[in-house]
Amino acid sequence: MPPAAKNLFEKRFLDLQKLLFKEIKMYEITFTLNGEKRIVGVQSNETLLDVLRYKLGITSPKSGCERGDCGTCTVKLNSQIVKSCLILAVEVNGQEVLTIEGLMKEGFTPLQEAFLEHNSFQCGYCTPGMVITAEALLETNPNPTDEEIKEGLSGNLCRCTGYIPIIEAIKDHVKKRGAEQ
């Protein structure tokens, strides 16, 4: 709020200021992003996807359709995968967000190794969302059937691979992990 005017000249200046300045409500949110506490000011109409990509420099979640159909914006919110293009940034105040960068605190994961081995990607655009979704699937369902894998991935569209190499990588990873235990 601008201070009260001391004289007529100041009053006229402050009146002019009121005409020129529009108040924008910013909401300060505090949340954990990939394990790190972040504080950032956002407007209520900014989506989580937009804030991640354009304010915080995390470009791995993508804007493929803006309707929650394609899955390229998939991130983890607390313990679940969500479509970040359909979440307002303000909603994640006090929550935990994980993107693919956060998955790799200890480097390339065994699932990513499996994806590399099986060529479970081509252009790479759907890949960050696909990896997050696959990792989350295996967290909630460590030994999925083929049908459960397909269902688990069904919210992530891929135009290049035809999905089969992705499914094979997941199955192979589960098998290898089972053999190790």
Q: How far is the C-alpha of 28 from the C-alpha of 19, rounded, in Å?
A: 26
The answer to whether 121 contacts other proteins (rule: CB under 8 A) is yes
Q: Is 47 in the site for other proteins (CB under 8 A)?
A: yes
Instruction: Report how far residue 15's alpha carbon sits from residue 37's, in angstroms, rounded to the nearest whole number.
Output: 40
| Residue 149 is a binding residue for other proteins (CB under 8 A) | yes
What minimum distance in Å lies between the beta carbon of 106 and other proteins? 13
The footprint of other proteins on residues 50-89 (CB under 8 A) is 50, 53, 57, 59-60, 62-72, 74, 77, 80-83, 85-88
Residues 3-42 that bind other proteins (CB under 8 A): 25, 27
Stretch that binds other proteins, among 7-15, 33-41, 124-132, 171-179 (CB under 8 A): 124-132
DSSP string, 38-80: EEEEE-TT-BHHHIIIIIS---SS--S-SSSSS-TTEEEETTE
Residues binding other proteins: what is the number (CB under 8 A)? Answer: 77
With respect to other proteins, which residue has the nearer C-beta, 38 or 68?
A: 68
CB of 59 to other proteins, least distance (A): 4
The neighbour count for residue 158, using CB atoms within 10 Å, is 22
Contact between 44 and other proteins by CB under 8 A: the answer reads yes
Considering the complex, what minimum distance in angstroms separates the CB of residue 64 from other proteins? 5
- Considering only residues 151 through 180, tell me which ones interact with other proteins, judged by CB under 8 A: 151-167
List CB contacts of 72: < 8 A, sequence separation 6 or more. Answer: 61, 62, 63, 64, 65, 125, 126, 128, 129, 156, 157
Q: How far apart are CA 65 and CA 70, in angstroms?
A: 6
Instruction: For Cα atoms 47, 50, 55, give the angle at the middle one, nearest 5 degrees.
Output: 120
